[in-house]
Structure 1
Amino acid sequence: MQIEELDKLFKKSKLPFRYSLEHVEKILREKYNTIEIDKEIVDDLKKDPFVNYKNIIKCYRVNDSKILSALFNDNERSMHAETLQRNANEPISNSEITESELLWRDIQEGKFLQLVFESADREYISSFTLQGLSEKMLDELIILKGIPPEEGYIGSPAYEFYLNVLHKNDLI
């Protein structure tokens, strides 16, 4: 579909360019049964050059097995199964592993996803980190983050990418 058509569909849809943090939280709780987690759980992000740790304002976990099952595609499920098998074949004692390493094993095995939101203005998502593998959740987070309205014009790479994600998810 042409970008011009997507632009018209978006404008007709009345979807917002981006969602307020309050609205994002409501959507995540209702749609994905998320639970809020402490920022300290993701303090390993302090080492990530793409994360501004001071701007992290909300962290969530998706751990409902039915919801996770719907969020993972076949390829992701296959990767989780391979990781689970590999981890089962390489047992480790609790004294050899840190809490952070245990957390990452669970994420890599598909037991949960973690969503970390940054906000420079404390009103909208300025950046996010998805810990875990889910193309569907990644698309959802791209949609919820949205784009600043001033970037909402044909020719803006951010806008055109946003329109394509909306279209891919049958929202326009």
Structure 2
Amino acid sequence: MAEAWRPAQRRLHWWTAGLVATGFAIAWIMVAVPLRDLLVKFLLFQLHKTIGLTVFALVVWRLGLRNRHGRPAEADGLSIAERRAAAAGQALLYGLLLAVPVLGYLTACSAPSGFPTLFLGVIPIPSVIGPDPHLFDLLAPIHRWSAIILIALAVGHALQAIRHHRRGRLLLRQMWRAPPR
């Protein structure tokens, strides 16, 4: 067990959180932009896709670092039920952090419009499948609801961290900055 989260792990955590929140906000804006503003809509979709691809890469990196360096010991005073709930919540968060971008990518690939996915607005990402209206109609709501569930879990995660912090546990401090030795 590590004594504290490494600086790279902490940075990746906060970058991931910020990008997920930004991507979620952009998603609601991009679908609300009318088609008469097609260029703005296209650019917002590309930004959303870039964020999703970046989140996927950051989460894979985070999991690699966690596997290599471990994690700090669990907080003292947690019941078995709290430990199990925390482990289940973490597993679900990581699962959704990987699944939502994959679902988004597949949704974009199957979109009837056939618009390309351009990472950073310029690097074309190949599609593994072609436009398929039926698959798109299946994937789009799954992607949307998975993202909503991800945000709800992330908010719950943050509220639990604040709750533990208010009870004097080091969990939030360990992720914000390393605790004093």
TM tier, smaller: under 0.3
Structure with the bigger percentage of helix: 2
Could you tell me the TM-score, scaled by structure 2's length?
A: 0.21
Between structures 1 and 2, the one with greater strand share: 1
TM-score, normalised via structure 1 length: 0.21
